[in-house]
Each structure stands twice: as structure tokens, then as C-alpha cells.
Amino acid sequence: MRKRKITFYHTDHHEFHICKTLSKNAKKYNFDFEFTNDLKKKSDIGFYCLDSNYIKKVNSNLSIITLGGLDQGKLVWPNLWQKESWNKFDLGFLPGEVWKKKWLTSSWDINSRPKKSMNLIGWPKTESIYKNVKHFEKKQNEMTNTIGFKKDKTVIYAPNRELDGKATDVINSISELGLNLIIKQFAWSQKDQIKKFKDLRNNIEESNYYAKKVLGKKVHIVDPSDNIMDYYGLADLLITDESSVIYEALLFDLPSLSIQDWKMGQNNYQKFRSPIIDKDVCFVCLKKDLTKKIDDIFKNYFSYKEKIINKKFDHFSYLENSCENFYHLLNITINSKKNIFEIVPKYQKSYFRFFLSMIILKSKNIIKKYLINFFR
């Protein structure tokens, strides 16, 4: 049988880590593979782990689309597909029951319907934790020894956008409470991203310098290109603004905290908005209460932890088998077998409802731009 090749498409390091996790099982299932950030590259089997708006034309004989991040499209939830078209891909897959419900609610939208099927197979990154527990624990112990923190509590700070003095707020609170801090900033890999986020990269350099100055040996700054999954297990609390990391932290029963009056933006001067947070899985506070809130979480740690400890089962299915499921789905499709992963749509496709929703969305955008210009 001819060995087929999977091309893993990605636009940043976070997406690459998802692709890399999946690729580890490729040889076992008789597939070759390659990675690329050239989204125009032609391929036999294309796996697209990203915002589908980046793909103008699908150049794969068989194409698969999934989320680039677990908070993707949060501005338009539950219908991510108002802004993204998955109907140009053959297969789609989702990580868990929460995203399955979002899709079922939106399944009338023609953009939400891949050509062949939407499937529930899990989130690839979970398998590296739950299937290879001993290996993962060994790696965690090695990293703990390398970082060299003492037994004080450790906070991991992983923002989506470094601006508005967020890192300074965290560093000052950590210093006051005598805690350890791991800093994991977002990494940009595409040339256009590096240019676009110049302000944020400068903010990161300044905040890293301040962290080392204030915290000394009690701070560890992670290479932004590293896989953050390797660091959750070293921490007792995650602090962020808004990010997919909140959901991934659930896999480690790690409480998350978001500061609601931090600003979200692309640079230091554009119009800002507040973080958008799922309060079912993340605790919140204001900047002025940050130190007090961190202290309260650690003083009542098991009470906070108890509130989120089972949430991972809502957001992630097949914790030990997500990668295997991916290859089973491929073989099922290639060999035209019965698909055991397919999600049956709740609604028939509705072209009328689709076009109406597009008109409403465009009208909202026009009104929003008018109001912004009017009040400048």
C-alpha cells in the first residue's frame, strides 16, 4: 500500500506544538509527514490547525481542520463559524463536549459544515500527559531540578497580549507575597506577526528585565517557543488575561486567575477592550485586588481547586486516545468505512438564516466603525 503524507500547516508555535504531538504517531499508522507554515503549499493530506481565514484556497487532496486554540472565536461564541468557513475542508474535528454543543447550536450555518463530517476526537495535546504518565512525570521532575525553585508556591504568568503593565502588576504581587514566578509569553513566528506586534515584543523585553531585577532567582523566564504544557505541572496557579491556556490548565487541575480591568489590544495605543473570560473555568479580580486575591487562593487552595477539578471532562474528550482517534478517522475516511466519530448535526443547513446572519453581522460592523469614528 502506498504510504501517504500528511502536511501539518501552522502559523505560530502554539499550533506547531499541536501538530508535533499528532505527528509522533504518524509512522505507527503508516503515514509520512512534514510541517510547514507555507499555507499555499500543495499536499496529499492537509491538517490545518489554525484560523481558517488564513486559508484562501485549500490545496490538499484530503483536508482536515481543527481549532488553533481552545478560545478561538470567543468574540462571536457560540457560532465561531460566523467568522470562519470550515465548509471548504473535508473533515473537521473538535476537542470536547463544550465545543460539540457550540457546533450543534450552529450547525444550521453552512460555514460550520465540512464537506464530509464534523467529528469529536479530543485534543491532541492531552495524550502526551495522560497516556505516557511516567514519561511526563520524569520530564517534570527534571525541569523542576533545572529551574531550581525552593518549596514556595509557584505562579505561572502566561498572557495573550503583554501591554498595560500586566507583567508589572503580577511581578509586584509575587514579590510582596514571596512566591516563585514562571513567565511564558506568547511567541510570534510569522514575519507579518513579528512586525505587527513590535510594541508587544518591546513590552516583553522591558517586563523580563524588571522581573529579573525584582525577583532574582525566584523567576524563570521561558523561551516563548517552548510548549507551555511542560510548565503547568510545575505551578500552583495560572495568571493570564484571556487565552487558550485557561482550558489547558484544567488538565492539571490548575486554578486560573484573570484580571478583568487589564486591557486587550494589538499594540500600546489602539482602542482597547476588556478580557473575555469563561468564568465557569477561571477566577477573576480587579488589578487593585490582585495581591489579595492570589493570597486568598493559596490560603483556601483546595476550595478553589475543587470548583474546577472536574471541568476538564467538559472540555476534553478521549484524554488518552485523541491522537489515535485522529489516525483512525483518517483511515475510516480513506477506506470509506463507517465513521464512529461523526457528530450528527442538530439542524438542517439554512441558507436563508446564513445570509440573514451575514447581513446582521456586517450591519453591526458598519455601525461600530461609524460610532468609533464619530466619537474620536
Per-residue pLDDT reduced to its tens digit, 296-320: 999 999 999 999 999 999 999 999 9
Q: Closest Cα to residue 71, out of 201, 158, 182, 130?
A: 158
What the block records as the C-alpha cell of 208 is 523580563
Mean pLDDT, to the nearest integer, of 272-293?
96
Per-residue pLDDT, 188:
67
Q: What is d(CA 197, CA 181) in angstroms, rounded to the nearest whole number?
A: 24
Q: Closest Cα to residue 244, out of 338, 316, 318, 172?
A: 316
List the beta bridge partners of residue 43: 60
List the beta bridge partners of residue 239: 157, 257
Q: What is d(CA 23, CA 193) in angstroms, rounded to the nearest whole number?
A: 25
Per-residue pLDDT, 192:
58
Predicted confidence (pLDDT) at residue 376 exceeds the cutoff of 60: no
Q: Closest Cα to residue 16, out of 33, 3, 40?
A: 33
Q: Closest Cα to residue 36, out of 46, 44, 27?
A: 46
Tell me phi and psi for residue 153, to 5 degrees.
-65, 150
Per-residue pLDDT, 206:
96
CB burial of residue 140 (10 Å; 0-12, 13-18, 19+): middle
Share of the chain above pLDDT 70, in %: 94
Quick: pLDDT tens for 62-91.
Answer: 999 999 999 999 999 999 999 999 999 999
What is the dihedral sign for C-alpha 212, 216, 218, 224? Answer: positive
Cβ(104)–Cβ(343) below 8 Å? yes
What is the dihedral sign for C-alpha 357, 360, 363, 365? Answer: negative
Predicted confidence (pLDDT) at residue 365 exceeds the cutoff of 80: no
Mean pLDDT, to the nearest integer, of 5-21?
94
Q: Which of 160-174, 213-227, 356-370 has the lowest mean pLDDT?
A: 356-370
Q: Which of 99-108, 159-168, 221-230, 346-355 has the lowest mean pLDDT?
A: 346-355
Q: Closest Cα to residue 53, out of 84, 16, 92, 8?
A: 84
User: 177 Cβ partners below 8 Å, 6+ apart?
Assistant: 291, 294, 295, 298
Per-residue pLDDT, 359:
83
101 DSSP 8-state letter = H
Cβ(252)–Cβ(270) below 8 Å? no
Q: What is d(CA 11, CA 51) in angstroms, rounded to the nearest whole number?
A: 9
Cα 243 versus chain centre, distance:
6
What the block records as the C-alpha cell of 118 is 464534523
Q: Which of 124-128, 153-157, 267-271, 337-341 has the lowest mean pLDDT?
A: 267-271
Instruction: Quote the pTM value.
Output: 0.91
What single-letter amino acid sits at 183?
I
All structural domains of the chain, each given as residue ranges with its CATH number in brackets, are 4-126+320-374 (3.40.50), 133-315 (3.40.50.12580)
